[in-house]
Structure 1
Amino acid sequence: MTSRQHIRTAALTGLAPAVWGSTYLVTTELLPPDRPLLATTLRALPGGLVLLALGRKLPTGVWWWRAPVLGVLNIGAFNFLLFLAAYRLPGGIAAMIMSAQPMFVVILAAMFLGDRIAARHALACAMGAGGVALLVLRGTASLDTFGVLAAVGGALCMALGITLTKRWGRPAGVGLLTFTGWQLTAGGLVLLPFWLTLEDLPDGLTGSNVIGFAHLITLGAVLSYIVWFRGIERLPAVAVSFLGLGSPVVATLLGYFVKDERLSALQLVGMAVILVAVVLGQRPPPARGPAPADAMTAAPGPARRDLREPHPTTAGDTT
């Protein structure tokens, strides 16, 4: 991939965390209160079922367990913990804790993808966390233990989801929409019994609630995850992880434009520091050795294949 192609791909992939940056505002302003499981389930399951119906292809072989694992990490557990943190913490605190996600990816990429931990990525992690702190932290912010644990768990889930998605890739003959549908559906189905057991249905839905859920299902799930998984295929895992730092920037800007919150000089400095961290994070890590046995082939595109799986023999499995 040329530098220009990398920039274009990174810019498109960065749209996903930019959309996710609106989650805090949508959660607090448009959704029914204290319904994190409802919000997470409805965010994932309807869109996933639509994509499955369009693709008309179910997982086979090892993907019967891989797809649910990725669905739980990337969708189900991550989004539930994100919503829980959003409900129990000020948005700035949640964003600050979630900014540790690139650091987790740097470590996991070294463990599972054979990447070396580069000094520039360690610097970018520190700059990213520092920039987010300047952007969102306030002296009067209060902490909630469960909210903090939820934010840490969400960052870990996202980091592991990025790493395993990169390691396992996408099976041959499966389009990106179908691959996204597998994960959205799996994540939603895992959450469904918890939602039905632990949460009551709201007394009714207002027009604002409907708008909030529509936003989460379309932009916040289907479109953003299609873009996100495409980026993971084409970019290094560490580079993708740093793009997630765009979420608190968007959340802060939305607070300024929508809720008339003040934007200080320190916050502007924080945005600049975050931008530098994202740029540093786009440089690929040095390879430590041969790619893992089950990693994807290097060429991007929908026809890439998991090398541990036998070559497809039926017409329905060919590209």
Structure 2
Amino acid sequence: MKNGNSGLTAALTGLAPAVWGSTYLITTELLPPDRPLLATTMRALPGGLFLLALGRKLPVGVWWWRALVLGVLNIGAFNFLLFVAAYRLPGGIAAVIMSAQPMFVVILAALFLGDRIRAVHALACVMGTGGVVLLVFKGAAPLDTIGVFTAVGGALCMASGITLTKRWGRPEGVSLLTFTGWQLTAGGLVLLPFWLSSEDLPDDGLTGSNVIGFAYLIAFGAVLSYIVWFRGIEHLPAVAVSFLALGSPVVATLLGYLVKDQTLSALQIVGMAVISLAVVLGQPRPPEPGSEETPSDPPRTTTSLLPDQPALEQERSP
């Protein structure tokens, strides 16, 4: 992919974490309180069923279990672990732990995708975590063991989902909307029994604000955001996509400042700048002049000389 197109794709893909960064505000302002599983199930399952109805195509063969694995990693288990960590860990620690996700992708991409571990990616990982610390960390606090493990598990789920989505790709003849619908439906179905066994609907029913909040999560927080996210995984290196996820806490902090009159310190502004630089460092670099990948170089072709297919030069020889 040309560098210009790569930049546009990265910008579009970055819209997904930006929308996810608004989830905290929508949850606290519009959704019923203390019902994280209801929020995550409603976010995934209705949108997934809607996309399945549009595509009218179910998985075939190995894609039954692949869609289930990807749906669990990218959506179901990831969101469940993220909410558990957010409830059990104080002030931003979950976000700090989750910021290790690009580092996990760097390692997994080297193991399963054959990508090289580059020094610039290691530097970007350190900068990304450091930027998140400056952005959200509120000081020393006691750590809950379960909270720490679920936060690490959430980061590993997201990293594994990105890597496997890149490795397996999208089955031929299946649209991006249908592919997204498979995963949203699988993730929502995995979450459904946890919600039914531990939460219920509000006693007074859903208010108009609740309906608006759920509609936003379904349309923007799930359907549109995951479509552009999976499109980005198709067109960008897995490591580049993983760094874009660091934009989520930045957007959450900015919305808190703009909408809820929260303070924004100089250290937080520095943290945003550091995170932005880490995201830029994690994106694909343009090929150096004279390299084999330079666009001006003519495309290379390989000719196979089979006994019944002589080369053109051989046919023209006297």
Tell me which residue corresponds to 2:170.
Answer: 170
Deviation digits for residues 134-165 of structure 1 (CA, Å, limit 9, x no counterpart): 11111265644333322221111000000000
The reply on whether 1:52 has 2:55 as its aligned counterpart is: no
Counterparts of residues 261-276 of structure 1 (less than 5 Å): 261-276=262-277
Q: Corresponding residue for 1:139?
A: 139
Range moving further from structure 2, 200-209 or 271-280: 200-209
Q: For 2:154, what is the secondary structure of its paired residue?
A: helix
- Which position in structure 2 is the counterpart of 1:242? 243
Shift of 1:33: 2.3
Whether the 8 Å CA contact 1:28–1:87 is kept in 2: the answer is: no
Post-superposition offset of 1:180: 0.2
Counterpart of 1:260 in structure 2 is 261
Task: Give the Å deviation of 1:34.
Answer: 2.3
**Could you state the TM-score of these two structures normalised by the residue count of structure 2?**
0.86
CA distance in 1, matches of 2:252, 2:90: 12
SS in structure 2 of the partner of residue 170 of structure 1: coil
1:95 Cα shift? 1.6
Q: Residue 283 of structure 1: SS of its match in structure 2? A: coil
Deviates most, 193-202 or 162-171: 193-202
Instruction: Report the alpha carbon displacement of residue 285 of structure 1 after superposing the two structures with TM.
Output: 12
The alignment partner of 1:138 has SS state of: coil
Deviation sequence 1:282-311 (CA, Å, 0-9, x none)? 03699xxxxxxxxxxxxxxxxxxxxxxxxx
> Given residue 213 of structure 1, which amino acid in structure 2 is its aligned partner?
F
AA matched with 1:151 = A
Q: CA deviation at 1:87?
A: 3.3
The one-character-per-residue Cα deviations of 1:9-61 (angstroms, maximum 9, x if unpaired) are 00000000010011222223322222222111111000000000000000001
Distance in 1 of aligned mates of 2:286 and 2:199: 44
Superposition RMSD in Å:
1.7
Larger mean Cα displacement after TM superposition, 21-30 or 41-50: 21-30
Query: Counterparts of 1:282-297 in structure 2 under 5 Å?
Result: 282-283=283-284
Q: Find the aligned partners of 1:283 and 1:174 in 2 and give their Cα distance.
A: 27
Deviation per CA, 1:230-270: give whole Å up to 9, x if none: 00000000000000000010011011011111111111111
What is the CA distance between 1:90 and its match in structure 2? 4.6
Q: Note closer, same or farther for the CA distance 1:272–1:128 as it changes in structure 2 (3 Å cut).
A: same
The corresponding residue for 1:208 is 209
CA contact under 8 A between 1:36 and 1:87: conserved in structure 2?
no
Question: Bigger shift: 200-209 or 34-43?
Answer: 200-209
Aligned residue in 2 for 1:82 = 82
Q: 1:217 to 1:250 in 2, by over 3 A?
A: same
CA distance in 2: counterparts of 1:99 and 1:118, whole angstroms: 18
Aligned CA distance change for structure 1 residues 218 and 77 (closer, same or farther; 3 Å): same
Q: Which runs of 5+ in 1 are unaligned?
A: 287-319
**Secondary structure, counterpart of 1:70 in structure 2:** helix
Partner of 1:224: 225
What is the CA-CA distance between 1:91 and the residue it aligns to? 5.7
Q: TM-score w.r.t. structure 1 length?
A: 0.86
| Percent of aligned positions that are identical | 84
1:12 maps to: 12
Note closer, same or farther for the CA distance 1:29–1:90 as it changes in structure 2 (3 Å cut): farther
What's 1:314 paired with? none
Residue by residue over 1:106-148, the C-alpha shift from the partner in whole angstroms, topping out at 9 and shown as x without a partner, is 0110111011111110000000000010111112656443333
Deviates more, 1:82-91 or 1:17-26: 82-91
Whether the aligned pair in 1 keeps the contact of 2:244 and 2:279 (CA below 8 Å) is yes
Superposed, which structure 2 residues align to 1:86-97 within 5 Å? 86-90=86-90, 92-97=92-97
Larger radius of gyration: 2
Q: Please name the residue that 1:105 is paired with.
A: 105
Quick check: 193-202 or 55-64, which moved more? Answer: 193-202
